[in-house]
Structure 1
Amino acid sequence: MHIFRTLPELREHLGRFHRPAFVPTMGNLHDGHLSLVQQARPLGDVTVASIFVNRLQFLPHEDFDTYPRTWASDCEKLEAAGCDVLFAPDEKTLYPEPQTCKVHPDSALTDILEGHFRPGFFIGVCTVVMKLFTCVQPRTAVFGKKDYQQLMTIRHMVRQFALPIDVVGGETQRAEDGLALSSRNGYLSEAERAEAVQLSKALQSMADAIREGDRDLAAIEARAMQMLTQRGWQPDYLVLRRRTDLQAPEGTEPLVALGAARLGTTRLIDNLEIDR
């Protein structure tokens, strides 16, 4: 695996390829990330991953400074997963001057759900992804479905700017008990880890209700919120939305159940696509 920290080195190396497949990450890698790398491998003629902890998408009270940096382990895992190129710029490389030009995505898609509770988050995400796209110039980029709203936001950005990139969604990877793999799972205590699966169970209860013919969406959402609240969680949202644009359902279109809730000091997110 080739490791590059500067843009000229990266571009010189990638200049010999025609169809880079790209997986951007913030490091602290787990099997979910590695599954995206493996999914990307047959989609291009070179597989590229990036590791960059993006300050722009962290709110002032969030964990930028304490976000786990696991460089040696990440490199070993990426190489074992078949990654060809790792781009790992520092802040001065990716942001050589204050990033005053930023990508402001569609507020109808990004001011809701995660964007409501983390204002400015998707501006930071879109800005760094656009910048990484210009660095790597991929033909395919793979993003995990666990960050469902992020995946939809990136797809929308790519369409709006007519970027020649196919954005592919990778299925959420889960532990044996159903907990979605996440870098932030490492913040959980042993007791919290055992409890954490209740978020996916709440989403499953919402999906089961839909499949059983329940059409009172507000009541389904309220029961799921109550289920977690009674167990000591602090839910931000548990909602049913249409997959196309994450707006409130109007008909029988495919749905997705999305949830975000705090367990102790750790905020977890998850989702579940529902066919009906």
Structure 2
Amino acid sequence: MEVYSEKQQITAALDSLRGENLNVGLVPTMGALHEGHLQLVKKALTENDKVVVSIFVNPTQFDNSEDLTKYPRTLSADIALLEAIDKASIIVYAPTVDDMYEGQTVSQKFDFEGLEFEMEGKFRAGHFDGVGTIVKRFFEIIKPDKAYFGEKDFQQLAIIRKMVELSDLPVVIEGCEIHRETNGLAMSSRNTRLKPQFKEAAPFIYKTLKAAKEKFGTESANKIVDWVEKEFSKHALLELEYFIIADTKTLKPVKRKIKNKAYRAFIAVYADDIRLIDNIALN
């Protein structure tokens, strides 16, 4: 398997592929790969001749330095997982911080037309500037035909689509369904850090989302939000940060349901010191 750590190396390799008229897909990750990532890679392989999997823990999207320090880094294991899928068609790009930021580890400032101020934006200052900066950089270096992102980070997906639209970038963004563990917990690299009792408690998050979806057909959004907040207030191990029902286009909280609009429920929960997010389509 080809593994590159410098942009000059991977740029030369990809230029050669394009000379052969091969399509290139991109799956951006921060490593600590799990089955959810691998599903993105497998989908990308069905639609492209070559797939670049970037593995890079991006410092500018962490608002908590301790979280950045603790984030798992498992490059050798990640490469082994990818080799088991397809050694010939997958290319790994695992750059250093200096390679990506050229000594200036700061975010570009973006205007995502308000999407960045909802939900995660209210709790993670500067997070989406960091996301936009690194994803745009990967697009510039790799120049993929298509890029693949999971719907677990639905707000991130919406923001990347908006960035592509506003910057007129020549890449198709593909959103992929949330991949879940057998107990319903949305797969995340952070799950590996959960202590046993919190791992056992965490499926309550998806169970609550499914119940909210059932209620959405007959109850108001405000009533459902109140109900979810009360359910978590009774839970000994899980601390609710937010639960929001939002319009999928604007990501703004819904005050009154409107026919023919799509809505989604979004949630962020602390299990001990591990922050877990999830979402579900409501209609």
TM-score range, shorter chain: over 0.9
Unaligned runs of 5+ in 2: none
Q: Which residue of 1 aligns with 2:275?
A: 267
Which residue, out of 27, 33, 41, partners 1:29?
33
Task: Check whether the contact 1:241–1:256 (CA below 8 A) recurs between aligned residues.
Answer: yes
Give the partner amino acid of 1:108: G
**Corresponding residue SS for 1:146:** helix
Shift of residue 98 of structure 1? 0.8
Amino acid in structure 1 at the alignment position of 2:196: E
Task: Please give the per-residue CA displacement for 1:203-245, whole angstroms capped at 9, x wherever unaligned.
Answer: 111101013x22x111101111211121032211111111122
In 2, Cα distance between the equivalents of 1:101 and 1:128?
8
Tell me which residue corresponds to 1:163. 169
Alignment of 1:94-133 (within 5 A): 94-100=100-106, 102-106=108-112, 108-133=114-139
Q: CA RMSD in A?
A: 1.4
1:247 and 2:255 aligned: no
In structure 1, the residue matched to 2:240 is 235
Q: CA deviation at 1:101?
A: 6.2
SS in 2 for 1:102: coil
Quick one: distance in 2 between partners of 1:104 and 1:170?
24
Q: Report the AA paired with residue 258 of structure 1.
A: F
Change (3 A) 1:105 1:186: farther
Structure-1 residue corresponding to 2:6: 6
Residues 1:153 and 2:168 are matched in the alignment: no
Q: Which runs of 5+ in 1 are unaligned?
A: none
Given the superposition, is the C-alpha separation of residues 241 and 259 from structure 1 closer, same or farther in structure 2, using an over 3 Å criterion?
Answer: same
Q: What's the secondary structure of 2:183's corresponding residue?
A: coil
- 1:57-90 superposed Cα distances (whole Å, 9 cap, x missing partner): 0114441112111111100111222351000101
Shift in Å at residue 53 of structure 1? Answer: 0.5
Match of 1:173 in 2: 179
Secondary structure, counterpart of 2:214 in structure 1: helix
TM-score, normalized by length of structure 1?
A: 0.95
Residue 248 (structure 1) shift: 2.9
Sequence identity percentage: 32
Correspondence 1:32-71 to 2 at 5 A: 32-71=36-75
Asked if structure 1 preserves the Cα contact closer than 8 Å seen for 2:225 and 2:243, the reply is: yes
Contact 1:199 1:228 in 2 (8 A): no
Q: What's the counterpart of residue 99 of structure 2?
A: 93
CA contact (8 A) 2:34 2:189 kept: yes
CA contact (8 A) 1:51 1:87 kept: yes
Q: Is 1:198–1:228's contact at 8 Å kept on the other side of the alignment? A: no
For the Cα contact (< 8 Å) 2:110–2:132, is it kept in 1? yes
Question: Deviation above 3 Å: which 4+ runs of structure 1?
Answer: none
Cα 1:62–1:111 shift into 2, 3 Å: farther
| Number of residue pairs the alignment of both structures matches | 273
Deviations for 1:83-121, whole angstroms, at most 9, x for unmatched residues? 510001011111112145604132511111111000100
Give, as a single letter, the amino acid of the residue that structure 2 aligns with 1:117. F
